[in-house]
Amino acid sequence: MRVLIGGGSGFVGRELIQMLRGKGHEVTIISRQPGPGRITWAALESGGLPHCEGVVNLAGENIMNPMRWWNNHYKKDLVSSRVDTTRALAHAIAASTTPPHSWVLITGVACYKPCLQTQYTEDSEWVPFDFLSQLVKEWEEAAHLPENAAKNTRQVVIRPGAVLGRDGGAMKQMLTPFRLGLGGPLGSGRQPFPWIHVSDLAGIIAQSLEPSRSPLSPHPEVFNGVAPSLKTNFEFTKELGHLLKWPTMFPVPGFFLDTVLGSERAVILTQGQRVIPKRTLESGYKFQYQDLRSALQEIVRN
Ligand SMILES: NC(=O)c1ccc[n+]([C@@H]2O[C@H](COP(=O)([O-])OP(=O)(O)OC[C@H]3O[C@@H](n4cnc5c(N)ncnc54)[C@H](OP(=O)(O)O)[C@@H]3O)[C@@H](O)[C@H]2O)c1
C-alpha cells in the first residue's frame, strides 16, 4: 500500500512510518519543507493527490509549545495548521480520479467536556463548549468528503488522549522536571488522564488504513485513541515518580499553570475526560500497552 501522511515528520508520524515500512508499505510525507520522500502542501494544492491507497493527517502546530505565549496569533496558527491542511487533503481526495480506499484524521479528546464522573465513548453526543472543543469540531468537519467521494473512500477519525512515548509529546516535556524531583500532581490531581502509548496510536492508525470490510458509510467512523485502563493525573504522577525513583509530593498549583500556559490551554493539564475506547476495542484492536505501568516502563527504560 502507498500511504500519504500530512505532518508525518513529527512525533506520531515517525512511529507510524516505522510501523508501516515494517509492514512493507511505501510512505510519502506532506511537509512545509521539501526533501526526499516528501511533497509540500503547495505541491499538493497545485498538483493534486499523488497516487496512493491511504491518506493520514497528523499536521498541527504543537499546542503545548512552551516557547509560544497563548494569544490570538498562536490560536489562529493552531486552528489553521489543522483545519486548512485537513481541508486541503479532503479536497484533493474528492478531486482524485484514483481515490485512496482510506482517509484517516487524528484529532483529540478535547471535544468531550472535562468531568470527574461522566464516561465518554465514541457514541457520546457533544457540542463545543470552549476554544479546543470548537477547534475539534472545525477540524473534523473539514475532513468530511462529499457524498460521491465517500462512496469510494473509508473515512476515519481517531481521537487520542495524551500520547506517551520517549521521543516526543508530553513525556519529553515531563521527564526532565520529574528527574529533577520537581514533578508533582497538576492542580487537584483528581482529573482523569486519558493516555495512549504512541505504538498503540500508530497501530490503530495502521488498522484504520486497511480497506473497510463492510459497506462504506457517508459519515466517518470514530475511534477513541486511549488505553482501556483509566487513570487520574495523581495516579499517573505517582506511577512515573515510582519508576523514576523520585518524590512527587509537590503539587503544581492550577493558578500557576493558568498563568504560565494561559487558562484555555492549561485545561489540557488541569482538567480531563474519562474516555473509553469502546469502538476501538469492538474493532478488534489489541492494545500492546493496556496498563500505564507497562507503557511507562517501556518509555523510562529507554
Ligand atoms: N502528541 C500528543 O500527545 C497528541 C495528543 C492528541 C492529539 N494529537 C494530535 O495528533 C497530531 C500529531 O501529533 P504529533 O505529536 O505527532 O505532532 P507534532 O510532532 O507536534 O507535529 C506534527 C507535524 O505537524 C507539522 N506542523 C507543525 N506546525 C505546523 C504548522 N504551523 N502548519 C502546518 N504543519 C505544521 C510538522 O510537520 P512539518 O514541519 O514537516 O511541516 C510536524 O512534524 C497533531 O495534530 C496533534 O494535535 C497529539
Domains located in the chain, CATH noted: 2-301 (3.40.50.720)
Dist. CA 48 → ligand 1 center (Å): 22
138 and 83 in contact (C-beta within 8 Å)? yes
Helix (H) / strand (E) element for 229: namely: none
pLDDT at 256 over 70: yes
**Distance between Cα 57 and ligand 1 center (Å):** 9
Residue 249 predicted with pLDDT over 80: no
Length of the chain in terms of residues written: 302
pLDDT over 70 (residue 299): yes
CA of 242 to the centre of ligand 1 (A): 30
CA–CA distances in Å: residue 291 to residues 109, 195, 246:
19, 10, 21
* Sequence-distant (≥ 6) Cβ neighbours of residue 58 within 8 angstroms: 5, 6, 7, 8, 10, 12, 13, 16, 106
Spatial CA neighbour of 157 closest among 200, 220, 112? 220
In whole numbers, what is the pLDDT of the chain averaged over residues? 94
Confidence of residue 175 (pLDDT cuts 50, 70, 90): confident
d(CA 31, CA 50): 14
| Pocket test residue of 14, 32, 267, 299 for ligand 1, highest count of atoms within 8 A of CB | 32
At 91, list the grid cell.
Answer: 479536497
- Which ligand 1 atom sits nearest the alpha carbon of residue 106? 10
Q: Helix, strand or coil for residue 281?
A: helix
Distance from residue 240's CA to the centre of ligand 1 (Å) = 25
Q: Which of 28, 44, 62 to mutate to test the pocket of ligand 1 (most atoms within 8 A of CB)?
A: 62
